[in-house]
Every structure is written in structure tokens, then in C-alpha cells.
Amino acid sequence: MSDTLASTPRADGFQMPGEHEPQQAVVMAWPERGDNWRNNAGPAQAAFAAIASAIAAETPVIMCTSAEGAAGARAMLPTDVSVLEIPCNDSWMRDIGPTYVRDDTGQVRGVDWQFNAWGGEVNGLYEDWSLDAALAAELLSVRGEARYSAPLVLEGGSIHVDGDGTCITTAECLLHPGRNPHLDQADIENLLREYLNVETFFWLPRGVVNDETDGHVDNILHIARPGEVLLSWCDDPQDPVYDICREALAVLEAKPDARGRKIKVHKLPLPGPLYMTDEEAAGIQPSSNMVREPGERLAGSYANFLITNQRVVFPLLDSATDEAARQLLQRVFPAHTLIGVPGREILLGGGNIHCITQQIPAS
């Protein structure tokens, strides 16, 4: 196991950098669950390989797999993607991997949050999450990085930081009874101050409709850089996301960020609505917790992209809105290369590109 520290990142002068800051690598995990990924995860594996390839052209990629899945992963992945045999229950690296923090000297350490499959006994998505819960510590150990063990059930997709003292999250997720029912909002903020080294919090009320992570912030919003965010936006008053995104905008406009800036909000078009087809649902093995039904609305969002060095990798989700999303992203990231990768297979599993990746900041 990795060296577990008794202190906190804040006490040691460490802080979570913004995603826009330089990265040394991106970590992913190979999809294998037949009750989440259709057709025994074959289409999802092809999608993960395409995303890994898009990232690896700019930033080294590390793919974690089970021992059984390693050969298949190596066969499908580009040769410059490293494969590590560290098993997990599913493949949402943003949520099960460590959240990396860095100090002023460039030293990098990892925060290992408690994980309970997005809700534990209340509304968790599967009953055995032991491999997922162990992955962060195992990865940090293999990489020789020190570990902070945080006393908080939290997934990486539930937080966004700007690296400058501001944290954005959703009340729907972090205050959900399936996470930390013994903690109130002030308690959670105090722990996030210690483990992310942030000062100011924006609590969006809700995430995207039908998001089975209980409304992760990374599926409705993305921080581009300090003082600037992209927010999923819907102009159809009949769509429940219409009110959700306006509630979020009101929160973002209500106060300055940690450095006194008024947050600039770019409205990112919402794809769809998108729904699971009969064929897609038929390819998924039945599960008591992860319900996958024909006609189910998918929590599609272009906000679920990854910034990695001078590249932005974003999901292609809807031919009617893909180009508008691309154009807005290019305006917000004029110096970055924009790479669109088909994201529907990942969306069918419950997330997208940001959910399946975790950046390691440059040291």
C-alpha cells in the first residue's frame, strides 16, 4: 500500500490544481461489466480505446485493467498507452481514482476518498464495490505517490475546482443521504477545505436530469479556467433541464469566486434529449440496481469533456448539436486542439469522457 499520511493536503501546503493546468498523465480503467456495458462491453471498449488514443496524442495515458482483461486491452489500445493490472468493479476512473494535489515545489500526492458505488445501501449501483474502493490506494502505491485518506464519501465527478481557491459542486449529490448522512453542508465544506485546499464554494442545486450519480457537477458544468465556466443550457421550457440550468446560473451569478472575480458563464447547448433504444437495452445483462430500459432518457451533456494540456477531448452525442458545441468549445479554448470522439457508448453506461478519465498534474 502507498504511504498514508496522517495530515491533510491543506496542512502540508498541497492543493488540487485546475484541469487547465499542465498534466503529466491521464489515468483510465478498462470497461468489462456486462450489466453496465452492452454486448459484453465490446462497443464500450472500442470507445474507450478511441478516447485513450485521442488523449495519448497529447498526454501519456495509463489504463488499469483486470488480469483477465489485460491482453484484450493491449490488443485494442495504441502501443503508447501503458496498461497496469489493477482491477476494479467498473471503469469510472474520475470517481474511483485518486484526486491529485500538488504543492509549490511541484510534488504530487493523491487523495483517496471513500467510495460506495454512488449511494451505498441507499441507492448504490452495485453491491460489491470493494475493488473500486481499493483502486486509488493501489494506484498510488504502484506509482510511489503518498496518500491522504479522506474521511468523506465522495466521487471525483462531484467536484470541480479552478486551482485558485474555488470549488463548484451540487447539493443533489454531496448532500444525498447515500453519501454522508452524518455530515451537513458546513461539515462537508470543512473537509473539502482540508483535502482540496479551497476557500469558496458554489452549490448548484441539481445536476442533469436522470443522472444516476445523483447529479454530478461534471455532467452539467465544466471549469475552463479561473473565473470562467461552461454550463449546460436548455432553451425548451418543457424540458426539466430548462429550470435546472437556470437555477445553476443564478447560483454562479450570486457572488464572486475565491479571488473576487465575477464568473463568466458560457452556455453550452444540451444534446437531444437522447433515449436508449430497444437494441441498446437488449444488449445489457439484467441488473437489480443498474436499470437499463428502452426509452430511458440518457443524461447526455457536452460538459462532460476533458481538458488535457493543449487538447480538449469532447463527446459527439447528437448530429443536431455537435457542431454548435464544437464551435463554442473552440471559442473558449482558442489555443487548444479540439477532438470530438463518439460518446454514445459511454453515455449508455451512465457518464462520458470526463467520468472515465482522471488527470495527474505535472510535477
Residues with a known catalytic role = 355
φ and ψ of 152, to 5 deg: -150, 130
Please classify residue 178 by burial: count the beta carbons closer than 10 Å to its beta carbon, then call 0-12 exposed, 13-18 middle and 19+ buried: middle
Rounded Cα distance between 156 and 139, Å, is 15
Q: Which three cell numbers stand for residue 344?
A: 454514445
Q: Given CA atoms 48, 139, 25, 72 in this order, what sign does their dihedral have?
A: negative
Q: Do 221 and 229 contact (CB within 8 A), yes or no?
A: yes
**How far is C-alpha 303 from the geometric centre of its chain's CA atoms?**
10
φ and ψ of 77, to 5 deg: -90, 155
Q: Do 111 and 121 contact (CB within 8 A), yes or no?
A: no
| Residue found under cell 483510465 | 28
| Residue found under cell 487548444 | 336
Overall size of the chain counted in residues: 363
| Residue found under cell 464554494 | 201
Task: Give the side-chain half-sphere CA count within 13 A for 361.
Answer: 24
Amino acid at 68: E
Would you list the DSSP string of 185-241?
HHHHHHHHHHHH---EEEEES--STT-TTTS-GGGTEEEEETTEEEEEE---TTSHH
**How far is C-alpha 45 from the geometric centre of its chain's CA atoms?**
18
Q: Do 94 and 112 contact (CB within 8 A), yes or no?
A: no
